Each structure stands twice: as structure tokens, then as C-alpha cells.
Amino acid sequence: MRTAWRALLPEKIREDMIKKALEKVMSEDMSEIWTVLNNEEKRRIIDAFVIHNFKKNQMIYAEGEEPEYLWCLLQGKVKKFKDGVGGRVQILRLIRSVQYFGYRAYFANERYNSSAAAFEPSTVGTLPMTLVKDMINNNRKLAWFFIHELSRNLGGSDTKIVNLTQKHIRGRLAEALIVLSDHYGFEDDNMTLKIYMAREDLANLSNMTTSNAIRTLSGFVSEKLITVDGRRIRILDEPQLRKISKYG
């Protein structure tokens, strides 16, 4: 599992990279959690923390595999998805840095129920779940972190069920655009979505065929709700998009 370069790089540089990555981790969401660890615990984490690089579209793990690691996205963008009937794919969740993923199946005592792949070149750190489990046992805050995270995801998943089954195509695509903007944000112009995804991914996110994603997107362009330049999507009229997403 350890990346090839790891063996090739001088120990000093390797340690620096890990330290840098961990610093990044510790400056985010879970900072309070990591800081309550004592020195010995911190040592264990640093020793076990392994960094991986994934190319654009590379699989990180696949449905059906045994979950062993907590994955922590340090850089890039990751999609969690499920292969359905007749080659259709449903994107279930989007991961941004710094977010954790891949732990649900382990906690549920199941194999992976969905797959994860990099949207763009991504750097990911792993910790063995056995270690995470130990840490949860010694750290109430960490337990609460996962309870909170799982609860929020479950709520999102239930909402998604209704969005994807009951809204019409325009509503679903508008919803997807809103979700993308909420999740990955905008470029400096405050309009351009900070994610550049294929029409096919957009379709897989909003439960439609690629043709319909393209068609509907064009519709939004002619209604001046967005502009499109290749994969660069600019949101012009967010209120109206939200309205369409609610039902229109």
C-alpha cells in the first residue's frame, strides 16, 4: 500500500512531508480532537500515517473491498459513488480537503458499500482503522466527532433520496449545481464553480443521462442562469437556481 516514492526519498524529506500533512490536518475540523492526544498517542499516529497520491480518475477503493483505513483527503477532490444497474453510476458524496472518509463500512462491520475515486490529482493520508478504534476508546471527543459526522451524512443521504426521486430533471440539476457551489465554493470571481467536472459526472450526481445533463445545462445557459465554457461553470442567478431546485 505504501507509495513507491516513500522508499526512494531520504528519510528527512519524508518526515517533513508527513509533518506538513499532519499540520494541515490539525489546523482543520478535528484540531481539538488531535490536540487532546498525549505525546505517546501522537507518536503512534505519526508512525502510522501514510500518504498516498492518486491520479485523476484513479480508484481509491472499490465497493466490496474490506475497509481497513480511515482516509483523509489532504489535497484534491474525491467522489464516492455506487455502480448501479446497467452501467449507471450514482455519485453519493463529494469529499473536499480536509475531510475524512471510508470509515462507515468499518464501523458498520461491513465491506465497502460504495467506491471512492479521485476527481483530480489528490493526496490522501491513511490511518489504520484499528488505531482509530483504539483512539475512540480513549477519547470521548473523537467518538462524538464520528457520531456527529455520521448523523449529518445520514440526514444528507435521506434528503438526497427525496431530491433524486421526486424532483424533475431541471430541479435535480439545479440542486446539483447548488450543492457543488456550497461544497467546493467559487473561484476569486465569486461566480465560477471551483470544480471542473465532466458532464457525465454531473449526470451521475443528479440521476440523469449525460445527454440530459448537457441539454438541461444548455437550457440554463439560454435562460441566463449560468454560463458555460467547457467545464467551467459560472453561476449567474443563484436565487433562481435555488427556486428551480425547490421545484420548477
Partner DNA sequence: TTCCTTTTATGTTTTAAAACACAAAGTTAC
Partner DNA sequence: GTAACTTTGTGTTTTAAAACATAAAAGGAA
Q: Return the number of the residue (30 or 78) whose C-beta is nearest DNA.
A: 78
CB neighbours of residue 244 within 10 Å: 23
Tell me the C-alpha distance between 66 and 62, whole Å. Answer: 9
Q: Return the number of the residue (165 or 222) whose C-beta is nearest its own copies.
A: 165
Give the residue, chosen from 109, 188, 190, 239, that forms a contact with its own copies under the rule CB under 8 A. Answer: 109
Type of residue at 244: I
Instruction: Note whether 58 binds DNA by CB under 7 A.
Output: no
Query: Residue 48 is placed in which grid cell?
Result: 502510522
Q: Return the number of the residue (164 or 214) whose C-beta is nearest its own copies.
A: 164
Instruction: Give the angle 171-153-233 at the CA atoms, nearest 5°.
Output: 40
What residues from 137 to 156 belong to the interface with its own copies (CB under 8 A)? Answer: 137, 140, 143-144, 146-148, 150-155
Q: 173: Cβ–Cβ under 8 A, 6 or more apart, which residues?
A: 202, 206, 208, 213, 216, 217, 220
Binding window for its own copies (CB under 8 A); candidates: 27-35, 108-116, 119-127, 194-202: 108-116
Q: Count interface residues toward its own copies (CB under 8 A).
A: 42
The helix/strand/coil state of 192 is strand
Q: Return the number of the residue (20 or 168) whose C-beta is nearest DNA.
A: 168
Binding window for DNA (CB under 7 A); candidates: 2-10, 132-140, 181-189, 206-214: 206-214
Instruction: Note whether 161 binds its own copies by CB under 8 A.
Output: yes
Give the residue, chosen from 47, 151, 200, 224, that forms a contact with DNA under the rule CB under 7 A. Answer: 200
User: Burial letters for 38-70: b for 16+ Cβ neighbours within 10 Å, e otherwise?
Assistant: eeebeeebeeebbbbbbeeeeebbeeeeebebb
What residues from 171 to 200 belong to the interface with its own copies (CB under 8 A)? Answer: 171
Q: Return the number of the residue (46 or 154) whose C-beta is nearest its own copies.
A: 154
Element holding 226 (H helix, E strand):
strand 226-229
Tell me the C-alpha distance between 131 and 37, whole Å. Answer: 13
20 contact choice in DNA, its own copies, none (CB below 5 to 8 Å, kind-dependent): none
143 contact choice in DNA, its own copies, none (CB below 5 to 8 Å, kind-dependent): its own copies
Instruction: Note whether 157 binds its own copies by CB under 8 A.
Output: yes
**CA-closest candidate to residue 187, choices 225, 231, 124, 123:** 231
Give the residue, chosen from 30, 136, 193, 205, that forms a contact with its own copies under the rule CB under 8 A. Answer: 136
DSSP track, 60-111: EE-TTSPP-EEEEEEESEEEEEEE-GGG-EEEEEEEESSEEES-HHHHHT--
Instruction: Note whether 108 binds its own copies by CB under 8 A.
Output: yes
List interacting residues with its own copies (CB under 8 A).
82, 84-86, 88, 90, 92, 104-105, 107-110, 113-114, 136-137, 140, 143-144, 146-148, 150-155, 157-162, 164-167, 171, 207, 247
